[in-house]
Amino acid sequence: MRRTACLAAMLFAAVAALAADASTSLRIGSKRFTESYILAQVLAQAAAPHLDQPPAVKQGLGNTAIVYEALRSGSIDLYPEYAGTIALEILKSDQPMALEAMNRALAPLGLGAAIPLGFNDGYALALRGEDARKLGIRTLSDLARHPELRLGLSNEFIGRADGWPGLARRYGLPQQPVGLDHGLAYDAIAARQIDVMDIYTTDAKIAHLGLAVLQDDRHYFPRYDALVLYRLDVPQRFPEAWAALRTLEGRIDEAAMIAMNARAELQGVAFDAIARDWLAKTPVATAPVARPGLLARLVGPDLGRLTAQHLALVVLSVLAAALIAIPLGVLSFPHPRARAVLLGATGLLQTVPSLALLAVLIWLLGAIGVVPALVALTLYALLPIMRNCVTGLAEVPEGLREAATALGLSGWQRMRLIELPLALPTVLTGIRIATSIAIGTATIAAFIGAGGYGERIVTGLALNDSDLLLAGAIPAALLALASEALFEVVERSLRRRRGA
């Protein structure tokens, strides 16, 4: 047990060291939608020739709250953001702010906003074009007169200060929206499962699906001019790279951004290739490009890296959970009240939504990536291991305990030589359950840049690419099956030894 604990400590230390080393490179984040992925690559590739080592791009870190917390805590150095979001969502202003005013408010936080890229990507609501013509809906005021229409809005938009609550009040909208992932909402509106969705005005699928964008006739939405939100020490730490980034100011107009989004969402072109072509001003073909098939996605060049990352997250977290939960189960077993409190606390952790727990851990640990992901997975693995440890100990026949006491064994000797060995199969079942939970939950770690098969799932959601989603989900399922087979072999071996 002591050797295992030392090994786990060494592995965690190595992970922490890797995270610390990453701080010497320029770290660029992105939110979890197509345009943000592309802009992060544009920023990274513009800066790369002026850096000693390639920038680290942390893609798809989630919504504004998560990526902003990553910036504030120093886990990333900059990311593409929008003026309206900074003013209303981050700075909690009740009205839009000029760039100078934003920077005065951001300075005490150690942050700044700069490099307006040249386009506005605003929020709007849209519905199918034929429905808009049939019902005579052109504006958001018109929408208020149709309570029967079904709204499917992104969860972030529903919760934003500049999103649904204020919009509904401004226009008196009577509808009750349901929350949908932004990418999936396009499929839902095309399939007539919803009637109205929120869109970004540079989304490529607006024209592709023939959607009608409703006019904001009461001017609720501010401008969302794209720019860079950064830590104030970036220009001093990376002066040449910052100078290169400054040359991007005003160079991307709305037509160029829509075209780049279309290449990603409609043609399946990789984000880094889109950024490289735009920076090189390389002419791109307008004819549709065939997307890679499911098999090509499954065995893509990133499979080995993602498998190693996913395995590391699962093995380290389950090992850490076992090192915590088994001793706690043993120590609390003779004390029913303490045991109930511990089991209740670990059970409560299971009820916390994964993304909420990750967001809290980013705030507490001041980091994104592997470290908070490992902590979250470890916390989720505690309950099945501890519960099975306690259950296994309770199943030891009382007669064996009395016999051990009669032989003069101390309480610890009895636990080590008799009770724990007899409880081992049940404890192993708990570890087996915890491993299965960790394999599935580890896919969520990609939302904070921890890698693993979730990278494919997160990107597939952003692009609404079902093949890419399956290319992440299938290896995770196969890994779960492989772990079940491995545990089955181990349990059979234990049964044979006990029978001998």
Q: Note the pLDDT tens digit of each residue in 325-384.
A: 999 998 998 888 988 999 899 888 888 888 788 878 887 887 778 888 999 999 999 999
- Tell me the whole-structure pTM to 2 decimals: 0.76
Query: Torsions phi, psi of 188, nearest 5?
Result: -65, -40
Q: What is the pLDDT of residues 17-36, one digit of tens each?
A: 444 444 578 999 999 889 99
The strand ranges marked E within 167-285 are 178-179, 196-200, 211-213, 226-231
Parallel, antiparallel, or unpaired: how do β-strands 123-128 and 196-200 relate? Answer: antiparallel
Pairwise CA distance, residues 128 & 145, whole Å: 17
C-alpha dihedral sign at 316, 9, 329, 363: negative
CA distances to 131, 154, 162, 256, 307 from 139, in Å: 13, 20, 18, 26, 49
Both structure tokens of 498 = 């006990």
DSSP 306-333: HHHHHHHHHHHHHHHHHHHHHHHHHHHT
Pairwise CA distance, residues 493 & 335, whole Å: 33
Q: For residue 5, what pLDDT is reported? A: 47
* Contact criterion met (CB below 8 Å) for 77 and 231: yes
Both structure tokens of 384 = 């099945």
Q: What is the pLDDT of residues 37-63, one digit of tens each?
A: 999 999 999 999 999 999 999 988 878
C-alpha dihedral sign at 110, 116, 117, 123: positive
Enumerate domains of the chain plus CATH numbers.
25-120+224-290 (3.40.190.10), 123-213 (3.40.190.120), 303-499 (1.10.3720.10)
Q: What is the pLDDT of residues 204-248, one digit of tens each?
A: 899 889 999 999 999 999 899 999 999 999 999 999 999 999 999
Both structure tokens of 131 = 């429905």
